[in-house]
Structure 1
Amino acid sequence: MGIGEEIRARRLGGARISAQRIFTDRLSEAEAFAGKVDQLRQLRAEHPDVTLDFGAARRNVLAFYGDGGIGKTSLSRELERRFLAADRKNRQAVRIDFSEPAARDPELYILHLRAGLAPLKDFPAFDTGLALYWARQNPGVALADFIAHQSSLGTAAQRQRFARELSEFTQSVLDNAGLVVGGASRAARFAWRQIQNSRVVRDLRKNCPFFEACATEQDTEQLRLHLPLLLAWDLMRIQAKHSTGIAIFLDTFEHVSGQRRSARLGDLEDSVVRSAFFLPTSMFVITSRRRLDWAADIRSPSLEFCGPTVWPGLTDGPASDQHRVGMLSAEDSADYLEHCLADDAGEPVIPAALRREVARLSEGMPLYLDVACNHYLALLGRGHTPAVSDFAGGLPQIVMRLMEDLDDPQSDLLRAAALLRVFDRRTLRVALPELRSSAVEHFLDRSFVLHREDDIFSIHELLQASVRLQDSFTANPWSAEEWAAVAGRLVAYWSALFDDPDSALWQDRRTQALAFWQLVGLYSTLGTSIPELAYIIMQVQLRGVWATIDAGRDQPEALLTEPGRSLLTLLDGMMERQIGDLQRTIDLLAPFSTDSPQPIENNLRRLALYYLGETYDLRGGGDAAATFQTLATGHDDRLAHEALIALAHSRSRDGDNVAALALAQRFDPDLRDGELRYRLHELLGHIWWCAGAFDRAAHHFALTRQTAEEQDSPLLLALARRHLALAQCWSNPMLVLAEIDETEQLNRDLGLPPGIAQCQMSRATALIGQAPLATVDELLGAATDTFTAGGYLDDAIGPVAIGVFAAAAHGDLELANARKAVLFERAEGRRVRHWLAAADIWTLGADPHGRVTWPEGTEVSVAAWTAPLLARRR
């Protein structure tokens, strides 16, 4: 029983505008917040073990929702300020703003929680679980180094301190683990076998419920989803000693469950819901444009914890913990205008009569009031006496007047900010290199620019859209050439960073996500030419950073162009492919292959066809080979190379090894690109293995192992070593038996089910002729079960085929033929022709059906597949 099933079982049981002033008189929101703080304080006192009661309802979520521009972010920040000001010594707050692309990374979400609570120091259960997860999910990437590079996790000093403390803790666990029989693989520096007898871990196994179930969970996604459960146990111990109040502020939550995302178990929203459930004494303050629907039973397909009995406070009714944040009243709006601008004596600058009229025109929108105050100051600066007519119209009109109020440097910076929405000083200087630093600082000091942590800034998305849409109506707009020039500089800057494998962008996911999001936005909303965009998307995908691709889809609907919509559809298809919805992937990407393809740049269209071809190859429903061929014809770029390799694999799976080899031989075997060289020799090894040329296959797999070692990649090393074993178990069984323990342990430490099964299969093959048939069959059965449990159904045919070989080698031809009949039945509809041909060779001594093509001819391959049988026959 995994940790998820175990939990389910238990359950069934000055002249500057102050944003803070806006909310001085929002009494209902402030009262609801104060009441929730008191409620949770009482819960901690009366039920200190509520964290472990999975049947208890959760009332720790307070939600504020409403339209954009009404001040929800300012409300959230003011509530955080009040929470900490009341008792800074015994309170801790965590803030996550989901409008920033990197915040939507599920791994970073977990790290955000832990980093925000770092001052509380002692988190042995969580930190151990996190280290185990990280070692398997991100092999070869040191957790402490990763944390130190993530700018979204606090200041440089905070990150260094957090990384150092985590590194010292994990090292202490290793130092106290004692001697581990058999050792741990070099690549897995923090594996369960390695630490299970450590003093800290023994204490956790004894005292922390579910720790061992989490720590030994084979599914890394399940382990990540249950890390907050371990965090909750750590907090429970901390709060037993000190009455520490925790508040977690999740802002702009509408970005988590965006319209382009397919809600599913294990996604970011499910992660957030689980963390709120597992941390019942910590308050989650969520601001969003939409009301939370966690209390609806219909969310059960995508939320592990949902329904009115779980979240009674999120249902409708007078006692609901969900509060609609409306527009400010006329009185509150006038009060805002009275206090936002004051002279040296503290008297209001805006006359009372004008305050009343502007308050009426604003219709209670705080963003309008903010921009209006900036407009008022600009009018005064020009020596003009502001009048009601200067503020007539809605937000777009007042924004247009603000743009005309600003001098050229400030209006240019506002336009550049509207291209970016989230930015730092460096990015603004890239966009407008001729501007003085003082102009940038003046702009960043304006009230409509929100200062985030670590010198990241943003403007409201409504302001962004208004500036972009209203610019052409201003007296001095940017020309199309000026917009293109600024966008071009940004594209060149970000593209160069993506092209440099050693740039900070590849180490800091915030920088990466922001750069990717902005490049997609420039193409999608402005039509900017980005020659390298298709290759950038492929680079990010090959590195497995799907959260970056996911975040790129979140673009302002009002600004999208038709090619931009096509690009977002491409990204939608990639995400559906990643989560395994192959039919939805085809539905999204098939239009890119029609005679009237989607309006999109050609390389982006080719990229869409590549993922469409991959999906056809897995699921059927289209011509994968023709799709890959179209991509490669007439091109000599990375996308064409990937298409050729994919086409060769497809041909080999269909049994046409001659065609697959011809495609592979079009490449230079000494490619300088290490990743592509690895994939080429992996392909050649597979082709020769299918042909029975086991020594040739082993040669190519040995080259992949060499490449993996050069790149210091534990994941590639695990792949290379298990593939090498698959080849050598036929031709050099004693060598495989000498190394298979270490190879299998490496794959186990990294949590790779297909690798574990392949090692079991290689071990069984190597033992044929040396061990009893029953021993071999037991290993083959284990391999079949491992493949099947992981969903690798084509691979699960391999152990069945080797069972035929085992029976034949033991001299029982009747049993071999019976097993062959089972093999053919199970192989129906599977792409495993080489196994069927091999089974015929083992039982008939020939390949009478011609199911596969042999690169060196039929006679050579029949002899090659026969040789191991002759060598081991008893």
Structure 2
Amino acid sequence: MLFGANDQSVAAEEAFTNRQAQWQAVVTALTDHLHRVAGPTFDVEDFAGPRHNVLVAHGVGGIGKSTLSRKIEASLTHPEGRPAQWAEPAWPIEKLLPVRIDLARSTGIDFERLMLSIRLAVASLGRPMPAFDLALRRHWERNHPGEPLEDYLRRGGLFSRFSNAVNLPSQLQSSLADVAQVLAMPGTIGGAVGQLTTALVGALRERRQTVRALAGCARLADILEAEADLETLSFAAHLLAWDLHQLPADQRVTPVVLFDSFEEVGTRTHRDFERLLQRIVWLMPNVFFVITGRDRLQWAEEGLAGQLDWTGPTAWPGLAGHVPGARAHHGPAVRQILVGDFSPQDCDDHLARRLATGGQPLIGLDLRAAITARSHGLPLYLDLAVMRFLEIRRTGRTPQPDDFGDFPALISRTLSDLTSDERHVLRSVSLLDAFSVSLATQVAGLTHDAAALRLTDRPFIREDQSGLWPFHLHQVVRSAIRNAEDHTDDRWSEQDWHRAATRALTALGQEWAHGPRRDRAVLIGVLRQGLRLARDFNLDELGWLADAAFSYIGDSVWEPLDPPAHGHQGTELSTPADALVETLSALARRQREHRARTVQRLTAVIDSGLLPAELQEMPLYYRAKALRDIGRDEDSRRGYQQVADHGGRLAAAARRGLAQAARLAGDFPTALAAAQQLGWEGRHQRVLGDLYWVQGEVERAAEAYLAGRLEAEQHAKAGEAAHTQAMRAVAVAFTDPRQADDELDLAQRLLANLDLRATTINAAIASLIRDAGNPTLDDRVRTLRTELDAAGLTSMTPTLDVAVAFHQAVQGDHEALAATIARLREQTSNGMYAYYTDIAHFMADLPLPNDHTPPRWLDSATATRARWRALVTARRDLLRTSR
């Protein structure tokens, strides 16, 4: 950088990322801490001064932060545990007391276990910690009555982790016995902790000479008097710091607490756990803390005041070095270091400091943001971007964001020390979002796993064991291999890429059909990658993608599938893959788009004629559903009939659509006869439930919906189970509001991870029916009406108005009911759902208009009227008795 420009005013600053430098940072910070604590001015009860007892190492996931944390713990525990390249510290290790605490959720850590871990580590000193032990024992008695601490430690595995854990209960008992003795209380204190602390607080308040040993702890009485909850336990960390400071000088040690996986203590909007941990760090100034996590600590930012107890650069001067907008601190006070890749904030900070002139960043804010976004935190990319910036600047042109894309140098640097097979595997897996060793080997077309195994050890391969496939290529490296101009000797031709894409598509199909898992997560994973490959490389043979597409729609869950394009130009459909991508995208997007837009998109697919015959029925069927939703019932019926006549995979679903069309037209006997022929594939129980509830036979409908949900669960169809459960809630809500609470709760749980807009609205309608008679429903009705309009779910509006009519009939609001009936007559003027008008009249026991054409009820209009009227009067009686 120094020789990259003639301008001598341009200053360059270098950043480090190697582990040796990070160990040196630990050594420097810990040495500074030891000097401070040993100094004559150090006061363990100073609650106002700045804190210098924390060091933070942060970086992206999988970069080795946990390994670094473990290595630091080992190096502070045993000299032989220190890596050979790490320098030996000047201070004696025996004066340190390291304890590492993994905050990952998988460890089951909570704040109580965290505090116990620190105390158990201190137990190795073989001495009671009287002030803290009193508070701990009081906390334990209040929050774990009847549970011995020894049993908890043994059951929680803490005894096995801490070799001196067995000494803690006896040390606690010793502390209690000593206090009881000085207070002249009889016997060994066991269950009388409350009595003991009360007596001790009184003695402390009266400043009796007998308790002078504890009287020096100014906050002890206040903590013992406070509610024994987690907040108080966090403040009790000060008591442990005080106890440690009372040890004789020749027995005093410095605890080093290593908090790992700090990103898992919460989010940057929910800081409750973080606040407790920060309190420990602040209240234990004689303890040194090493925190490793994905993000830098924000404690030095004043904007967090109120969320945390102590904030700002004055409180945490060592943490302010990388705070945006703050003046960087230099020298040993800097206590935040990076491990590997940079976070976005640090990318910007790096670019701002990398080149400067006159003390100001040479690279502007907008350009820094563009480079940061494209770097994905890779330090190498940032350095290459700075070099390109200088190169463009030398030409006299101002660098622009478009100048910073993929760097060919990333390819050569990434491939430089790989074997030929490893280079081949690397290019192959760049086609995939994620991969396993076996999948990488198949995509590469190799017969052995060795090259893929070696590749997974490379630093640009990230590992996430919670994913479908554990490995993925660093995004910047992947983008460079796919997009940048490759000048290496073994670069691939277009045919090489096409052959690799064909192998990848085949391998993904094998993964779905014969892999270790065959669940919906795998289906979505292979579909997203397979669709993109087929589209971007114009693979005409869809193969397994057709079967996978039918499996995708079979559960009605509708996860987003539209894959990002790689060099895909325009929106015109030109290949079968284009048409299939557009079809599945339209089906998923209809949960968030107006149904008229869904009709438009599916019509374009149908008209293109690109889909093979076996897939053509898919856009035909779902266009028929969308046409029904927007009120074009005759067009919808014709579409269903076309699919049913074709006799393909969706024929049973189309016959269900025709049965439902008969129901919508009020031809209930025909709908019933059709429903009885549908079977599970045609969702017969759901059709029966839809038919029974409009007859006023809501109990019978609820039974049918329950049977439908159980069938759906038996066939592992989460979407169908959620839908039938929501409709069961609708049926039950008419008769039993209390049971409806349970049914709605189950519906919400089934919907939790699904994107089913219409089903979610059905559940909301059920909640309205449950609350019928409550005068505060108007706002909820307006909100639902707006949502239906926005979604284009016109067909559901009459159902909402039936719920409103039930509410108004229960209230006896004849004027409002008349308006609702008028609205229903207008909505159903085409003959579809016309029976909803009958139902509204039945609810209020009103005569039907003379010009009204009744539907074909399953038994008789008189019986149906009586059932609906009985539901209204039963609800009135229920409301009257509950007042």
Higher helix share: 1
Q: Which has the larger radius of gyration?
A: 2
TM-score by length of 1: 0.49
Structure with the bigger RCO (C-alpha within 8 Å, sep 6+) is: 1
